[in-house]
Amino acid sequence: MIRVRAGAALALAVAALAATTGCSLKRMAVNSIASSLAEGGDVFSSDDDPELVRDALPFGLKTIESLLAIVPDNRKLLLAGCQGYTQYSFAFVESDAELTESADYSRASALKERALKLYLRARGFGLKALDLDYRGISDQLRRDPKSAAARIRAKDLPLLYWTAAAWGSAINLGKDRPDLVADVDVVRALMNRGLALNEAYDGGALHEALIVLESLPAMMGGSFDRARAHFQRAIELSHGAAAGPYVTMASSVSVATQDRREFETLLRNALAIDPDRDLSKRLATLILQRRARDLLRREDELFFADDTTKTGDSHR
């Protein structure tokens, strides 16, 4: 995620540079400082106060965009923008929409629309970065997804992942938009390329993302059986210590199949994880556990029957 302390120092440095240096020197200096920002330690991932992070992140994100106005081809900043906007939208915008939907549908709809726009902004950063090393790939992905994705090398796996995550999240929110739905195969090709490069990336993050993709309707290429296989692999790769696969499986597949018992078990497993066990993931765990509690609170709204234990593609 974006580093707020580095972001503040960076904003001051940019202001000073704008006032005192020529264009070439300014770009050189900003590139140097921006690289330090993108490579610096993450001050947010171990935080135990999600609301503090919520308030701090927008400043860091806008600082990234301000820097990109000066050095638009800085790959590290483009990746930081793609990752940061994706994380912010998921953790604090789309999640807020889910929290408020039952009480204020209009506000929830507005939040979902905002989250969608943020995901598309993140996708834009990711595609621009990919185009720098793989000329024309953003257009080729839409024409021939598999061939285009096959061009991406292992060094760019984080960029592949966050671009695909932003794109897939936008599709998940925009199922009523044909222009987005048409790109499902693009996201699938990127994720599958990621698996080929390193399926264990970030403790099974690719498999977790594919749970969502495979929970889409069959007419969009989804499969509950494949979603379950990705869930099992995500659990194996994360050693059962990540809340994400449990919450993702419950909110997507369990709800879609109306498997209430599985839904409850998965969310209890997510809530049983100790956020302090892995400090590098403490913030993510706390945010996901908040979502798990909200899903359990809204359980009666999500399920039409008391219980069903059937699973698999027969539920389509």
Structure confidence at residue 199 (pLDDT):
96
Taking the C-alpha atoms of residue 238 and residue 144, their distance in angstroms, rounded to an integer, is 32
In a domain, 147, yes or no: no
Structure confidence at residue 311 (pLDDT):
44
In a domain, 68, yes or no: no
In a domain, 121, yes or no: no
In a domain, 263, yes or no: yes
In a domain, 253, yes or no: yes
Taking the C-alpha atoms of residue 292 and residue 60, their distance in angstroms, rounded to an integer, is 27
**pTM of the model as a whole:** 0.88
Instruction: Tell me if 5 sits within 8 A of 42, measured CB to CB.
Output: no
What CATH number corresponds to the domain at position 217?
1.25.40.920
Q: What does the pLDDT profile of the chain (316 residues) look like in tens digits?
A: 333 334 444 554 555 555 545 567 667 766 776 666 665 546 678 888 899 999 989 998 998 898 899 889 999 999 999 999 999 999 999 999 988 888 899 999 999 999 999 999 999 999 999 999 999 999 999 999 999 999 999 999 999 999 999 999 999 999 889 999 999 999 999 999 999 999 999 999 999 999 999 998 888 888 999 999 999 999 999 999 999 999 999 999 999 999 999 999 999 999 999 999 988 899 999 999 999 999 999 999 999 866 545 444 433 3
Taking the C-alpha atoms of residue 56 and residue 67, their distance in angstroms, rounded to an integer, is 18
Q: What is the DSSP letter of 144?
A: -
In a domain, 102, yes or no: no
Structure confidence at residue 27 (pLDDT):
74
Structure confidence at residue 37 (pLDDT):
63
Amino acid (one-letter) located at 199: E
Cβ-based burial of 25 (10 A; exposed 0-12, middle 13-18, buried ≥19): exposed
In a domain, 14, yes or no: no
For the chain, the domain total comes to 1
Structure confidence at residue 92 (pLDDT):
95
**Which residues constitute the domain of residue 301?**
199-316
Structure confidence at residue 310 (pLDDT):
47
In a domain, 229, yes or no: yes
